Copies of this chain bind each other. A is one copy, B any other.
């Protein structure tokens, strides 16, 4: 396993879905940053599911606890360990189906990799629940980015085959928070909600697409050749369970364009250099251009569905059918929005430090 991410701003993830705790250690945070448990909690609460999106609700009244690295209301330069305790955990169903590997989940691959010793309950390390740690770290990263005027936001742009209409940054900022879907197009959000409800009633699930945007990024972030802005972000985003694709700017659509269409012409505006379009999504040669960073993430439909599925009993090595019990989110896209923001903030924070754009002590 390799549970650390980042070179100067480093997070180390630990904990399991049904273990005692889910947590994160943030190392490399500049000293002097004002931070409270409430700041962390606020982001954590944004990750909560709307009841209506859930078939079987797990009450996650998660409370962020800061165990180290903060003193007198400010970061000390020391590693910041944060945890949420696991409560309201019922693992009995998982015990019953222990050897029936769930399609679309990591049960099989984890079983092979860890020789069957992995904590399988609720998916263990592979549960979406470990992203609670990502969000706590993201809360800190976000505060750091704010200092240099960087704002990170994400919103739902598609659920199943329902796509939101394109939205301007300002519209996303104002409207995405108004609905459970974190979708800036409230009309589309209504349709998405209905589609999710339909899927839920059919014991099925939906995926979608989340777009992340960072505004105010200075040009010059990213450490080519290999620790590029896009490469580092992609790696971080693929750590979110269910992500199957990552694209920047015009992304896969770029493949269909001509160079004359896809190249973003440079011009001078207000004394600075900008491009008149942003097909690059704010990244050229692995380095930020100063234009908005735009990344889109494909989220597969929730693997846990209520219907019966074909699988194998990995112990008996024979075919089996499985009805996944436990809680199901018919669509995890809305919950993943804040996680996308968090992984972006964490990655950008590391690259900001690596580019030498932030002092080690914040006054």
Within 8 A of B (CB), among A43-74: 67-69, 71, 74
Question: Are B284 and A77 interface neighbours, CB within 8 A?
Answer: no
Question: Are A109 and B265 interface neighbours, CB within 8 A?
Answer: no
Q: CA of A124 to CA of B224 in the docked complex: distance in angstroms?
A: 12
Question: Are B309 and A115 interface neighbours, CB within 8 A?
Answer: no
Question: Are A14 and B314 interface neighbours, CB within 8 A?
Answer: no
Within 8 A of B (CB), among A280-295: 280-281, 283-290
Provide the A210-243 mask, 1 if CB < 8 A to any CB of B, else 0: 0000000001101111111011101111110101
Question: How far, in Å, is A349 (CB) from chain B's closest CB?
Answer: 14
* A326 on the B face (CB < 8 A): no
Question: How far, in Å, is A100 (CB) from chain B's closest CB?
Answer: 9
Q: CA of A288 to CA of B112 in the docked complex: distance in angstroms?
A: 10
**Complex interface: chain B residues within 8 A of A275 (CB):** 103
Provide the A176-216 mask, 1 if CB < 8 A to any CB of B, else 0: 00000000000000000000000100011111110000000
Count of identical protomers in the assembly? 4
Question: Are B112 and A262 interface neighbours, CB within 8 A?
Answer: no
Interface range on chain A: under 10, 10 to 19, 20 to 34, or 35 or more? 35 or more
Find A259's partner among B104, B227, B232 (CB 8 Å cutoff). Answer: B104
Q: Given A1-B225, A206-B258, does the pair A284, B109 have CB atoms closer than 8 Å?
A: yes
**Complex interface: chain B residues within 8 A of A305 (CB):** 259-260, 263
* A348 on the B face (CB < 8 A): no
Q: CA of A314 to CA of B353 in the docked complex: distance in angstroms?
A: 26
* A171 on the B face (CB < 8 A): no
Q: Given A32-B117, A109-B287, A356-B359, does the pair A104, B267 have CB atoms closer than 8 Å?
A: no
* A164 on the B face (CB < 8 A): no
Find A246's partner among B19, B227, B234 (CB 8 Å cutoff). Answer: B234
Find A118's partner among B28, B78, B318 (CB 8 Å cutoff). Answer: B78
Whose C-beta in chain B lies nearest to the C-beta of A257? B301
Q: CA of A304 to CA of B258 in the docked complex: distance in angstroms?
A: 11
**Complex interface: chain B residues within 8 A of A361 (CB):** 114-115, 117
* A146 on the B face (CB < 8 A): no
* A264 on the B face (CB < 8 A): yes
Most buried by B among A241, A279, A301: A301
Whose C-beta in chain B lies nearest to the C-beta of A11? B226
Question: How far, in Å, is A298 (CB) from chain B's closest CB?
Answer: 4
Find A117's partner among B23, B77, B209, B279 (CB 8 Å cutoff). Answer: B77
Question: Are A266 and B311 interface neighbours, CB within 8 A?
Answer: yes
A residues adjacent to B (C-beta < 8 A): 1-5, 7-8, 10, 12-16, 19-21, 23, 25, 27-28, 31-32, 67-69, 71, 74-81, 83, 101, 103-106, 108-110, 112-115, 117-119, 124-126, 130, 158, 160-161, 199, 203-209, 219-220, 222-228, 230-232, 234-239, 241, 243-252, 254-268, 271, 273, 275-276, 279-281, 283-290, 298-305, 307, 309-312, 314, 317-319, 353-356, 358-361, 363
27 A-B contacts, Cβ less than 8 Å apart?
Answer: A3-B78, A5-B226, A7-B7, A14-B79, A15-B67, A31-B113, A31-B115, A71-B117, A75-B117, A76-B114, A76-B124, A77-B118, A78-B124, A109-B289, A114-B361, A199-B258, A199-B259, A204-B259, A206-B259, A231-B238, A234-B246, A244-B254, A250-B300, A257-B301, A260-B307, A266-B310, A273-B314
